[in-house]
Chains A and B, each alone.
Chain A
């Protein structure tokens, strides 16, 4: 462990040194000055850095390095594109008046182009995009929200006064990007518009461009996953360890099932038989009312949503598998367990015995059988009226 830390430290300090040499995006402002402006004390900032360090799976000795990297985020411009989407990803990331530090940093680096929240509009906005791409060529981070419609020559989505198709915009923007992130399930996997029969031939970002794309899926994705991915790029300077679906392993390496606070009930065979029953009131496992937690890789149970307020399972509804590819077609019906389907028919015939690392289908092996067994055990318990 110690040796690994040593080599990581070396990588980081080299990387940070390189970043320090780059000019700031805005001469008059740095992240440090903005933090001062907003009244964020150094202590609060270090607390946040500590949490982020743990979140990224690094030992606590890296906290100062993470803090420094976060401050260097002002050297990396971000261009955020909207494709065929609902804007839920941006809404999810929204900032607050006492900004969470993630959103504050993001606010600063989300500079020149973000269709929903930028100040510019009309021709000026399109000019800004073209100028940013030129000015920061090779340095900017491209973040995309939304699937790319490719049907009808790409004309199911045109943006701006020139009527450029979404497809062309992502291709052109990708050329000069230092890193490309697909934010949300739509951009990562095609999303809801790609669900059968996919009327507009919507595609994931990675299928439309031929540069490496990091997928940060979820519908919506957790704000922390988005910012953490950015921070990871700053630190490593290369793509983080990714799973078979190009999702960062530090965020998507565990199943919802593995991190779920109701897991004890699953293991004890205590299930909600129907919504609103006594078992639901006791917070039992939601597998039998359709929770797809065992088949879904994400960290919702720990990071939660809306500033750690809650997440679907805490509110009593099972996971719908929204960070998995094609979940619109494979995870439904959402209030019925997958065990009720034929295993062979799931995931294009690959069945229940594959894992995300092997061939990309996200089901468990032994646990898949165990789930069915658990469910069978509890059928003898009748729900109370």
Chain B
């Protein structure tokens, strides 16, 4: 029984983390993830005007700042709700908010897939991933960002959502511009990732459908299968999602899907060896992210793949890539049906400075559920807490009997390449997690 411990630095996760691995008989037995940077955002937000949170929280992260903005505006609107004040939001405002957030998710997944995952997979085959394809993907991601900039002013970091709606007043010129950009994203997916048309792609139901068309997705699946990776990276097979935007539903899935989740069962815990806090639901570790979202929404493809592969790295990657298609299609649909004659912003009847209450805001960020909770009193923020998706996925076990989501997924792996793939399939963000 030989036990040894190695430490790895994992970089390029919007920051870095230290991965401490416990090895036994050539396989990973347990692991700890440690983050060594901290900024103190929750303390900084305290004491300020409630609406200032809209400007502050996006700066927690440069790649998912738009999701932070969405979570904040939801938390603020929840404050109104808890005071018995009903806020009206026009369909147009909701649609714009959703579609810009969808675009942030799309551009994130594209970068993750083409900058990180495909190069790792190619390495298993001893090949180097072609640079021109990376740039082409980047171009598609940039187009998705342009959609956000068209309505919100810029990306990263814009402030176009406020309680009651959005501040922009687009004309059809902006809508058509955005449509041409999303068409480019969809074309990219159809040309490079799954060589088919988007309508067929979003209706694919099983592995057979996926393997019928060439493209990077088929190539990824074949690399994983021929290198015996398809069944690696399984975790607790427990999924959770709190945000309800666009195509996402709220709930949890353990063997079956349950829709009732409540934030009172979320518990955050500080540890002494890392700046990131653990988060559990009912005392247990869950997975968040695209795979979780697909399982909870009872996506037919996810369910079919789950029968054979459970929550392995294969499924995690497939459903994250497919989420690009689902969201791009949804964005196009939304743009086609948006009614710009509706109001952008409906002013709340009462000023937020006069309220004293709490609010919870949820949204689905690129990497999973994002949760903001706020307490306002006498025109100031009394308390603000942020729980990010990577906190869910990258916790550290505190009890003997259960490993964290990531530790369970890494258990049994044999070498650096496998570890790298499984670790990065969760798509971590270190700056968010430590905030």
Contacts and interface: CB of A to CB of B under 8 A. Distances in A.
A220 B62 contact: yes
Contact of B167 (A117, A220, A280, A309): A280
A311 B36 contact: no
A328 B62 contact: no
A309 B150 contact: yes
Interface stretch (B49-57, B302-310, B354-362): B49-57
Contact of B40 (A96, A200, A304): A200
B190 interface: no
Given A219-B157, A309-B150, A193 B431 contact: no
A86 B162 CA distance: 22
Interface in A160-200: 160-161, 163, 166, 191-193, 195-200
Given A85-B62, A197-B43, A306-B145, A314 B153 contact: yes
A131 interface: no
A309 B39 contact: no
Contact of B154 (A84, A99, A275, A311): A311
Contacts of B152: 310, 315
A217 B167 CA distance: 25
A87 B36 contact: no
Contacts of A45: none
B396 to A, nearest CB: 18
Interface stretch (A68-76, A151-159, A208-216, A358-366): A151-159
B12 A115 contact: yes
B44 A192 contact: yes
Contact of B51 (A88, A166, A197, A333): A333
Contacts of A97: 132, 135-139
A281 interface: yes
A140 B145 CA distance: 32
B217 interface: no
A117 B63 contact: no
Contacts of A320: 55, 159
B281 interface: no
A300 to B, nearest CB: 8
Nearest to A107: B135
Interface band, chain B:
35 or more
Given A158-B37, A315-B152, A334 B136 contact: no
A150 to B, nearest CB: 13
B62 A275 contact: no
A116 interface: yes
Interface residues of A, number: 74
B167 A197 contact: no
A82 B15 contact: yes
A86 B59 contact: yes
A185 to B, nearest CB: 9
Interface string B104-142: 000000000001000000000000000010011111011
Interface in B245-294: 275
Interface in B328-374: 343-347
Nearest to A152: B38
Nearest to B134: A97
Contact of B153 (A96, A123, A315): A315
B296 interface: no
B16 A115 contact: yes
A301 to B, nearest CB: 12
A317 B158 contact: yes
Smallest CB-CB A-B distances: 5 pairs? A88-B62, A199-B40, A276-B345, A315-B153, A97-B139
13 contacts: A87-B63, A88-B63, A88-B156, A121-B11, A157-B37, A193-B40, A200-B38, A281-B169, A306-B145, A309-B149, A315-B154, A315-B160, A322-B157
Given A92-B62, A312-B158, 7 more contacts: A84-B37, A86-B60, A87-B62, A159-B37, A161-B7, A197-B44, A200-B40
